[in-house]
Every structure is written in C-alpha cells, then in structure tokens.
C-alpha cells in the first residue's frame, strides 16, 4: 500500500456516503428501537491501479437505526482487511460537503455557536483601514 | 418573549457574553461576582492591558521569571497546543499581532518593521518562565474557554445547575431543568445567517472559531508565527468537548495542525470536531454527534 492514493480514497468515501444516504432513505430498517447503537454495517470495496497490480480498499460503515453513520473503518482487502496507520487516521476523518441551512429555517434552537463577536472599537476602525486600501 | 430567555448579558474581554439560567433569572449577587471575575481576568491576562501579566515581559531581557499559578496553568496548556501543532500555535505571537495592527489602539494598520519580528522562544518549568527575549503573550486562542469554565464554577458555587454560558459564541452548557440538552446551531464560517449543523450540549463545551470575524485588510487574528502571514488553509473550526476550555483548546490546535494530527488533537482534549477547509470541504471527526446540513 505504498501508493495509497488519497484522491481515490476521497472518491471512495464519497461513494460510500452516497450509498449510506440511499440506504437511509430507501432501505429503512424495520426495527424502531430507541437505542441509538450500531444496528447494521454496510461496506464497499474501492479498487485502484498501482504499478505492480491492483489495490483494494474496503470502507465499512456502521449505521444506527436512523441510518446515520456512527462508525467508519478503512481496511486493506489484500492484506486480510487490516488497516495501517494511515488508514486508521483516514477513518477518523470523514470528508463531507456541508451545504448549510438558513438559521431562520431552524426550529427549537436555544443558541447559535459562532466565532467571536468583535468589539465596537475593532469594527469602528475598519472603515479607516478600508480607506487606505 | 419573557425576560428570562434574554439571560444576563454583558461585555468582557472584548466580546459579548450571555449567561442563561433555565427558567430563572440570575440573582444580583452572582451577577456581580461574574462581572468582577471577568474584569480581574482581563486585567491580569489581556495583552491589550499594559500592566497585565501577559504584557509584563514585553521588554524583558532573556532570563527566568516567576509566574502566577494561574498564568502558569494557562501557559502550560498553550505549551501543549504548541507541541501538537509543531510550534505553530504559539501565544508568543502577541507582538506580531500588534505589528500587524491588532493592537490596543486597534490601529489596524500593519507596521513597516513587521518583517523584523522574531518569535520569542519560551519554556515553562513549573511556575517559572524562561525567555530568550522580550515577549507579549496572546492567550486569545483558548483563554476565553478557560474563562467560560470559571464562570460556570461561579454559577455552581451559587447553587445554579441548569445553565448555559455563552462567551462570544463559545459555550458551556449543563442541561435544562427537565434534563434535556441545550440545542445549539453552529454558524457556517463566514456566513452569519447560515448554520452548518446543530449540536445538543449536555454538560459540554462548544468552541467555534473562524478567520472572518476579526479580519482587517489582508490580515486576520490567526497568524503563522514563522511565515508572519495569516493562516488561510482553514476557514473555521468547531469542537465539542467535556468543558469549554478543552473545546477552545482543540479549535486553536486544529487551525494549525496537519490533517494527520487531527486525531491526536481530538484525543488530547476529548473532543469531536469539524474543520472547514478553504476548498469548501469539511473534515468531520468520526465521533461527531449532531446534525450536519449536507
């Protein structure tokens, strides 16, 4: 796995996420348990060419009963589904595109976590700076 | 809406604060204790105040200096962040921020001798600080989280159990009086009317940081200590942990950390995180619990 290709992995992860979303909406689990623990695993294998053959990486997602992803594993299929350090690290980070939602569309929110609001002094000095640019 | 929901609002350490008690109004005595504590904290640790401990080494020659226990504790945490980010998160950038224009007069005008800035080398031995030259310490990266937790301590001492402390958008919350969590939307970096997701806080801290709010010209407040330029690879970071200080520490480290160090940062502070990269993608930790609007 010397030529472990990050870009392919990213594509792989995105494919799996799409699959998970499809799973969530199409194959709803029948059980309606309140427990939010892991109820089903889905996995897919991504193959990619390297100079000395083909590498195969398996992405395994654990889903809760709402179809939400609650665990991710990335393993090397050709090495007996083991994971090297890089794969473990990769599994610890999901890569997603966040679209966002209008705050005004959200209901039942107590507060908004935000980057520091700035002082009047800071903000009032900005027009002077803009004039210099 | 009733008055209770507005909470106790005040200004401190350069930002807006709000303390919300579920179903109650904060009593006058506790309000005063909080205001006093925040004022004392600012006087002691703000780099904008010349007589503060954070500013007191500005013109010091190389040498060893005794610290107050509290400043030593804060610098110890800063030292951990420095370690986790290969030296990039360093509170000794205070003078660089000043030279870039983020000074006590808010001049917002970068100075010509900015290029001559040399990052002071410092190390901590218990409560003794060793410096190789004069230094101004900026604890803005995580001092606010520390202060939020201290305010929570004041609330606990005064008998409050169901509250939320919001320090300029960083939050610590226990539970509501019925035991349910507080629901907090996370602002999308640079888009104040958009939420990236929602988290439910239950005896947890949340910190959110971005490079948009404190921005002037080509600068913002998160600076690379060696390149002497603002950090642009990350747009914003959000982290949830067991308290506000740990969450705030995690966001500071994640701004500078290499991607393969994200897990180490999360482990060090028991945190889950979102890292909004400049290319529009977001790194989400495996243990993130909460809704994301994908």
pLDDT of A24-46, one tens digit each?
A: 444 444 333 333 455 667 666 76
Task: Please answer whether residues B79 and B71 qualify as being in contact, where contact means their C-beta atoms are separated by less than 8 angstroms.
Answer: no
Residues of A with CB under 8 A from a CB of B: 71-72, 86, 89, 91-104, 106, 108-119, 121-122, 124-126, 128-129, 132-133
What is the number of structural domains in chain B? 2
Give me the pLDDT at residue A129, please. 44
Residue from B291, B293, B285, B271 nearest B199 by CA: B291
Distance CA A89, CA A86 (A): 5
Same domain, B185 and B99: no
User: How near does any CA of chain B get to the CA of A114, in Å?
Assistant: 4
Same domain, B127 and B218: no
Q: Which of B11, B212, B260 sits opposite A115 (nearest CB)?
A: B212
Task: Please answer whether residues B124 and B256 qualify as being in contact, where contact means their C-beta atoms are separated by less than 8 angstroms.
Answer: no
Collect all residues of chain B within an 8 Å Cβ-Cβ radius of residue A115.
169, 187, 189, 208-210, 212-213, 236
Same domain, B181 and B125: no
Tell me the pLDDT of chain A averaged across its residues.
Answer: 62
Distance CA B190, CA B236 (A): 8
User: Which of the pair, A112 or B156, is modelled with greater confidence?
Assistant: B156
Neighbours of B59 (CB within 10 A): 10
Give me the pLDDT at residue A25, please. 46
Same domain, B129 and B211: no
* Residue A5 pLDDT greater than 80, yes or no: no
Residues in chain B with pLDDT < 70?
A: 1-5, 212-223, 228
Alpha-carbon distance values, B6 to B1, B9, B46 (Å) = 8, 8, 28
Q: Roughly what angle, to the nearest 10 degrees, separates helices B69-84 and B244-256?
A: 40
Give me the pLDDT at residue B2, please. 44
Task: Please answer whether residues B213 and A115 qualify as being in contact, where contact means their C-beta atoms are separated by less than 8 angstroms.
Answer: yes
Is B253 part of a structural domain of the chain? yes
Is B243 part of a structural domain of the chain? yes
Distance CA B61, CA A77 (A): 59
Collect all residues of chain A within an 8 Å Cβ-Cβ radius of residue B109.
129, 132
Same domain, B121 and B184: no
Give me the pLDDT at residue B203, please. 98
* Residue A133 pLDDT greater than 60, yes or no: no
Same domain, B284 and B174: yes
Q: Which of A86, A102, A116 sits opposite B15 (nearest CB)?
A: A116
- Under an 8 A CB cutoff, do A102 and B282 touch? no
Whether the CB of B150 is below 8 Å from some CB of chain A: the reply is no
Task: Please answer whether residues A97 and B281 qualify as being in contact, where contact means their C-beta atoms are separated by less than 8 angstroms.
Answer: yes
Collect all residues of chain B within an 8 Å Cβ-Cβ radius of residue A96.
281-282, 284, 292, 294
* Residue A79 pLDDT greater than 70, yes or no: yes
Give me the pLDDT at residue A39, please. 64
Task: Please answer whether residues B240 and B123 qualify as being in contact, where contact means their C-beta atoms are separated by less than 8 angstroms.
Answer: no
Q: Which of B183, B188, B194 sits opposite A110 (nearest CB)?
A: B183
User: At A122, is the pLDDT very low, low, confident or very high (cuts 50, 70, 90)?
Assistant: very low
Same domain, B195 and B96: no
Same domain, B169 and B288: yes
Residue from B258, B279, B261, B281 nearest B271 by CA: B261
Same domain, B210 and B285: yes
Alpha-carbon distance values, B154 to B31, B140, B157 (Å) = 10, 21, 5
**In the beta sheet, which residues pair with residue B239?**
B207, B273
Residue from B46, B56, B61, B64 nearest B123 by CA: B64
Q: B177 is in which domain, residue-wise? A: 4-26+164-292
- Name residues 233-262 of chain B within 8 A of A (Cβ): 236, 238, 259-260, 262
Distance CA A31, CA B191 (A): 39
Same domain, B14 and B116: no
Distance CA B13, CA A63 (A): 43
Give me the pLDDT at residue B291, please. 85
Strand duo B291-292 + B128-131: pairing: unpaired
- Under an 8 A CB cutoff, do A94 and B171 touch? no
The CATH code of the domain that includes B80 is 1.10.3980.10
Single out the residue in B140, B174, B207 at which a domain terminates.
Answer: B140
Q: Which residue of B has its CA nearest to A108?
A: B183
Same domain, B131 and B178: no
Give me the pLDDT at residue B51, please. 92
- Under an 8 A CB cutoff, do B195 and A111 touch? no
Residue from B127, B139, B157 nearest B42 by CA: B139
3-class DSSP assignment, residue A118: coil
User: Is the interface score ipTM higher than 0.95?
Assistant: no
């Amino acid at each position: 796995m010397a030529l472990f290709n990050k870009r392919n992995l990213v594509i792989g992860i995105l494919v799996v996420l799409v699959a998970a979303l499809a799973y969530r909406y199409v194959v709803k689990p029948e059980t309606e348990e309140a427990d939010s623990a892991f109820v089903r695993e889905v996995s897919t294998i991504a193959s990619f060419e390297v100079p000395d053959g083909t590498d195969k990486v398996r992405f395994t997602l654990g889903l809760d009963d709402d179809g939400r992803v609650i665990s991710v594993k990335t393993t090397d299929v050709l090495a007996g589904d083991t994971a090297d350090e890089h794969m473990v690290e990769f599994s610890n980070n999901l890569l997603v595109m966040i679209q966002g939602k209008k705050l005004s569309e959200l209901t039942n929110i107590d507060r908004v976590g935000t980057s520091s609001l700035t002082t009047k002094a800071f903000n009032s000095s900005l027009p002077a700076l803009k004039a210099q640019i | 809406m009733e008055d209770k929901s507005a909470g106790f609002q005040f200004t401190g350490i350069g930002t807006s604060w709000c303390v919300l008690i579920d179903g109650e109004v904060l009593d006058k005595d506790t309000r005063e204790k909080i205001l006093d504590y925040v004022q004392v904290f600012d006087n002691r640790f703000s780099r904008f105040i010349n007589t503060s401990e954070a500013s007191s080494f500005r013109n010091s020659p190389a040498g060893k200096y005794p610290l107050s226990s509290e400043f030593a504790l804060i610098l110890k945490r800063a030292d951990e962040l420095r370690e986790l980010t290969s030296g990039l998160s360093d509170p000794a950038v205070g003078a660089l921020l000043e030279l870039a224009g983020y000074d006590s007069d808010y001049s917002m005008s970068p100075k010509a001798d900015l290029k001559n800035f040399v990052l002071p080398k410092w190390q901590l031995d218990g409560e003794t600080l060793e410096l190789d030259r004069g230094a101004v310490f900026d604890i803005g990266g995580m001092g606010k989280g520390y202060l939020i937790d201290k305010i929570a301590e004041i609330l606990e001492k005064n008998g409050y159990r169901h509250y939320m402390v919001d320090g300029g958008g960083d939050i610590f919350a226990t539970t509501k009086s019925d035991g349910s969590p507080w629901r907090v939307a996370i602002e999308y970096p640079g888009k104040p009317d958009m939420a990236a997701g929602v988290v439910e806080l239950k005896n947890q801290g949340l910190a959110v940081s971005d490079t948009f709010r404190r921005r002037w010209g080509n600068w913002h407040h998160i600076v690379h200590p060696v390149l002497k330029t603002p950090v642009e690879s990350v747009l914003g970071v959000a982290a949830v942990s067991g308290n506000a200080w740990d969450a705030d520490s995690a966001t500071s480290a994640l701004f500078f950390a290499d991607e393969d160090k994200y897990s180490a940062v999360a482990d060090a502070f028991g945190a889950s995180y979102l890292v909004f990269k400049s290319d529009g993608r977001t790194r989400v930790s495996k243990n993130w619990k909460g809704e994301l609007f994908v």
